[in-house]
Structure 1
Amino acid sequence: MKDHEYQSDNREDSPANDELNWAELERTEVDAEIDSSQTSATVPPANQPPKKGKKILIIILAIVGSLLILAGLTFFLYNQFATPNLTSEEKIEITTDQEELKKLYDELLSSYATSGKSEAEILALLERAAKETGDQSYLTNKDSYLVKKPSFNLAPGTYEGTQNLEIIKGNAGDAVYYTIDGSVPNQASAKYTSAIPLPIGETTVKAMAVSAKGFSSPVIEGQYILTSPQITTQSVLSEEEFINRFYGVWYRPGTENVLTISQTTYREYIPTPLSVASGDYVVVSTTENGGIIKVLDFTVDGYNAGDTLIEFDFGTPGDNQMRLRHEGKSWWDYTAAEYLGGGEYRIPFEFAGKDVFTLD
């Protein structure tokens, strides 16, 4: 009986133990779920990059962006400052815009004119400009680019008494600008319209021509030293002084008559009809301001007119003017030609195809 009762007690205790085991199991499962949720909240996903890697990537992108900005700034500064320092020739080589190309050729042609390039060099550049720009006006208006230097009617040097200096244009359509203080002339300087009176003392005259297109010639320069007329008690000129006064080349304004007088020969060039009258001469007499010569066997294109007396009056000393007359004829006014040196003189027009005469 006792054994039966013992076994019965054991069966009654078994459900209580089973309930305890299930409760423990449920608590264990809950604890595991909590641990799992905490672990998933703290461990990053396997495919998420570390925060340190992101920082490195941002730094690399910032450096690349800075380099690109620096390169762009360098290119901009190069175009702004390096290009303007190129020569006209270099700019022409890299320019494709036709209007800009014309401006560059005009700049280069202007520098050719002012630097004294030869006519052949300027013409070659005009042909090149016309070909590369397609603008044929470079050739049809070539005279606007070929700016010839003006010249002075008086050779630079020393003269007695005041003088009137004339500036002779190379091209009739050019404008001439000048200075008398030694400075370089430009288009803001005095414009030449009439002869420049030179005072007693030293004067440096500079002049340049400007074409209708605005191109400038090289600057010409002349230094003139004018002295006060000397007072002399001599009543008449010596023969040597008399010859020195009319020695040279003279022309008659408005008629194109030219006169050359050397130490021994008198010669007249007459345009209408075209002829030459000449002969050797001797001095007959002198006065305080002139004299008379005798041209021996005065010959006009082969016709011998015999000996001829010619009288001279030098007028105001130093004004480069004189007048003469054949015996019984009217007075004729003559102006001194420009002395070029080496026995050559230039007149302001062409006689029989030339404007330079040479005296031995």
Structure 2
Amino acid sequence: MASLHISNVRKAYGATEILKNINIDVGDGDFLVLVGPSGCGKSTLLSLIAGLDTISDGEIRIDSDRVNDLHPSERDIAMVFQSYALYPNMTIGQNISFGLEMRKVGKAEREKAVSDAAKLLQIDHLINRRPGQLSGGQRQRVAMGRALVRNPKIFLFDEPLSNLDAKLRVDMRTEIKKLHQRLGATIVYVTHDQIEAMTLATRIAVMKGGVIQQFGTPAEIYSAPANTFVATFMGSPSMNLIPAMLSAEGGKLMLAVGQGSAAARFELPPQSAAVASYAGKPVIAGLRPEAIGVEGGRTPDALREVEVKMLVMEPTGPDVFAVMELGGVEVAARLGADVPHSPGERCKLRVDLSKLVLFDAQTEERIA
């Protein structure tokens, strides 16, 4: 496997800039997920790594080797496409071994590589069938097998699960996760699905408008989003963003969450100097749905009681998604399945302020 280093990479088509100063370092064995809305530049960046397109400025290195000007065949990468791209007239075994055959790999070595990959992906019983006889999930495994036999330095996945139904996506997600754990492979994976990003990645790059909004571990992206875009894009339901006002009273920081006379006021647990400097200023309070209605917490001194009005309740089985009015603003919460409340009811819930994230009201950047 190998490391990947992307330094100050730009891509423009004429006057239209698609990627702007992209900087990413992927360690040996990392699983990097590029995630963002359609048109954010993630697939373009994958094409630049693969060598399917040329960069306008900057540098891409695999290990210590600069690959900007190398042909795709010289970069030692393997790519798995959204469309599977299998040859319908070939058997599964022939599809998997085709790339090795083109590289003049010996027959015995080819057969062993195909057998090993097929067993690893649990498709060895399908080896003599043709793609038209397989399900979508099986075809995607074949496409992965074709990449595996190459034993490349880096695997590139371009939205490989988007053509599958919901259950198959979950199953294949698990298989890809297992594959990464078994092989310790370096993987770059493109998706617009934030659930895929959170479950698969060791590192995530959240993109918007050709710019990386945040690069970090899934836990960092989820718990400490860099700005309100990341906060709302990552997480389902997304983070609640509530207008708020900070004030200093008697040496304590107070937060008024919501609007006008209905705003709920909390005494904050100890905060950073950066947060304290916003006393007297409007901010945006970010709370994940699971931080509202908690029964207990690791930091009990950060729990605060608040009155809410239940508006809509959606049971999902293990829990209930609730929309409620807090401080005169609608927010979403994830509550326990046995929650005793009903729509229209006013009740008191506890909010875990250790999970609170505050953003600058003007720039929408997180206040560190």
Q: Fold-level match, TM-score > 0.5? A: no
Q: Which has the higher contact order (CA 8 A, sep 6+)?
A: 2
TM-score with structure 2 setting the length: 0.19
Pick the structure with greater CA Rg: 1
TM-score with structure 1 setting the length: 0.20
